[in-house]
């Protein structure tokens, strides 16, 4: 299918024409674990469902199209997707990681890869020059989150990818917060995009999944090999749910972004709030870059309470429509306390989060109701 088609069209039609034998308008859910062979080694492209599954193949092809990649590889979770990329690292290798990376990413890199002698250097990726100055002869890649979790910092993906390439390494972008609807890192120069499909791609808090999209032949070979050899693959039903979520990604993002913009303005004017972190605010240090690099500012909003940790924890307890829960990116709005929840694993590390910080994942509810909820919770 021509990639000149619009995003919404591709999300609904790319790699998923009506079924040739039945006319069914959505891809079939193929539960088979194995596939008949006409003769030894002669089959229709599938021999065992860990290695390849038709429902997964459709999702991999759709996601690759949406991110502008030649190949897609789906995994059982975002962490399994990250792990498949990091498996290319060897003892003695180094990587650069954002100084406010998702806590689970830090845990995987510092504790699992750290154990086998891979070192990680936290870097302020809002300063692209820091990438060059922190790069060591042993550095193999820079890991980018933009906007980052939970501080919503914006990194210049094009500039960082250029530096990484000049220095002979890879630029890998976790595009979970932005989604390909708002930002396409591969077109900006990145080598691979990683997703927690659990978030906006699935969009309904009912599936855990992950994906890596890339056009780099060496990465494709590594990812295909790890996917099959380590076997952290998603079930066909999980793939079906993400595929279904993708069809409404564009409209969900539009409304969630506009709700988030209204909420960030409300919070910015609230006397209990000392700082709002949302790239859509003109006061955000990454605002101009986000405007250039993204098609919208996203639907994640973090804010700092003047009253400190106790007030932050109490505010999170008091909201009624904003459910107090981990995760993000679905139709329902969520609130969480990163220091004690999603980012507890970075406590006392260089990535430790301000305990007065709260993070919102803004959903699709009526924005007036969301504001009333925050207003009563903030007191
Ligand atoms: N990347 C980001 C930015 C995340 O927020 C998360 C989870 O919260 C992950 C990766 C990991 O994804 P999963 O929970 O699907 O393993």
pLDDT in tens, the chain (379 residues): 666 899 999 999 999 999 999 999 999 999 999 999 999 999 999 999 999 999 999 999 999 999 999 999 999 999 999 999 999 999 999 999 999 899 899 999 999 999 999 999 999 999 999 999 999 999 999 999 999 999 999 999 999 999 999 999 999 999 999 999 999 999 999 999 999 999 999 999 999 999 999 999 999 999 999 999 999 999 999 999 999 999 999 999 999 999 999 999 999 999 999 999 999 999 999 999 999 999 999 999 999 999 999 999 999 999 999 999 999 999 999 999 999 998 888 887 778 899 999 999 999 999 999 999 999 999 9
List the structure tokens of 121: 């250097």
For domain 249-378, give the fold: 3.90.1150
CB 11 within 8 A of CB 62: yes
CB 264 within 8 A of CB 299: no
Give the active site residue among 174, 191, 238, 373: 174
Cis peptide before 120 (omega within 30 of 0): no
Cis peptide before 147 (omega within 30 of 0): yes
Please work out whether the CB of residue 176 comes within 6 Å of at least one atom of ligand 1: yes
List the structure tokens of 93: 């290798």
CB 146 within 8 A of CB 124: no
| Nearest alpha carbon, ligand 1 atom 15 | 78
Please work out whether the CB of residue 174 comes within 6 Å of at least one atom of ligand 1: yes
What is the full DSSP assignment across 102-162? -HHHHHIIIIIIHHTT-EEEEE-TTSHHHHHHH--TTEEEEEEESS-TTT-----HHHHHH
Please work out whether the CB of residue 79 comes within 6 Å of at least one atom of ligand 1: yes
Q: Domain ranges in the chain?
A: 7-246, 249-378
Q: What is the pLDDT of residues 249-306, one digit of tens each?
A: 999 999 999 999 999 999 999 999 999 999 999 999 999 999 999 999 999 999 999 9
Please work out whether the CB of residue 102 comes within 6 Å of at least one atom of ligand 1: yes
227 CA from centroid of ligand 1 (Å): 18
What's the CATH architecture for 7-246? 3-Layer(aba) Sandwich (3.40)
Residue 209 CA: which ligand 1 atom is closest? 15
């Amino acid at each position: 299918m021509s990639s000149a088609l619009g995003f919404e069209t591709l999300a609904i039609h790319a790699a998923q024409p009506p079924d040739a034998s039945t006319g069914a308008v959505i891809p079939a859910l193929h539960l088979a674990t194995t596939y008949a062979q006409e003769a030894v080694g002669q089959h229709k492209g599938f021999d065992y469902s860990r290695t390849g599954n038709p429902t997964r193949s459709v999702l991999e092809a759709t996601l690759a199209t949406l991110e502008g990649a030649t190949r897609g590889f789906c995994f059982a979770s975002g962490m399994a997707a990250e792990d498949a990329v990091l498996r290319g690292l060897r003892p003695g290798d180094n990587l650069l990681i954002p100084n406010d990376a998702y806590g689970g990413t830090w845990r995987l890199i510092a504790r699992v890869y750290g154990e086998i002698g891979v070192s990680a250097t936290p870097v302020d990726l809002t300063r692209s020059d820091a990438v060059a100055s922190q790069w060591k002869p042993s550095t193999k890649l820079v890991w980018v989150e933009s906007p980052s979790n939970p501080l919503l910092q914006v990194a210049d993906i094009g500039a960082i990818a250029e530096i990484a390439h000049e220095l002979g390494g890879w630029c890998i972008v976790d595009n979970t917060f932005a989604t390909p609807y708002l930002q396409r890192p591969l077109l900006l120069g990145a080598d691979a995009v990683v997703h927690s499909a659990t978030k906006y791609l699935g969009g309904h808090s009912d599936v855990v999944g992950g994906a890596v999209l890339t056009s780099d032949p060496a990465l494709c070979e590594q990812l295909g090999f790890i996917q099959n050899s380590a076997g952290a693959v998603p079930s066909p039903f999980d793939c079906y749910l993400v595929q279904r979520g993708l069809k409404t990604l564009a409209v969900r993002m539009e409304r969630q972004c506009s709700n988030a913009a209204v909420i960030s303005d409300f919070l910015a004017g609230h006397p209990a709030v000392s700082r709002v972190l949302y790239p859509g605010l003109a006061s955000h240090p990454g605002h101009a870059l986000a405007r250039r690099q993204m098609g919208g500012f996203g639907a994640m909003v973090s804010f700092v309470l003047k009253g400190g940790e106790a007030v932050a924890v109490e505010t999170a307890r008091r909201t009624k429509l904003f459910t107090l829960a981990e995760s993000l990116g679905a139709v329902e709005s969520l609130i969480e306390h990163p220091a004690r929840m999603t980012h507890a694993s970075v406590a006392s590390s260089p990535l430790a989060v301000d305990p007065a910080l709260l993070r919102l994942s803004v959903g699709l509810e009526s924005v007036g109701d969301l504001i009333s909820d925050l207003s009563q919770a903030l007191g």
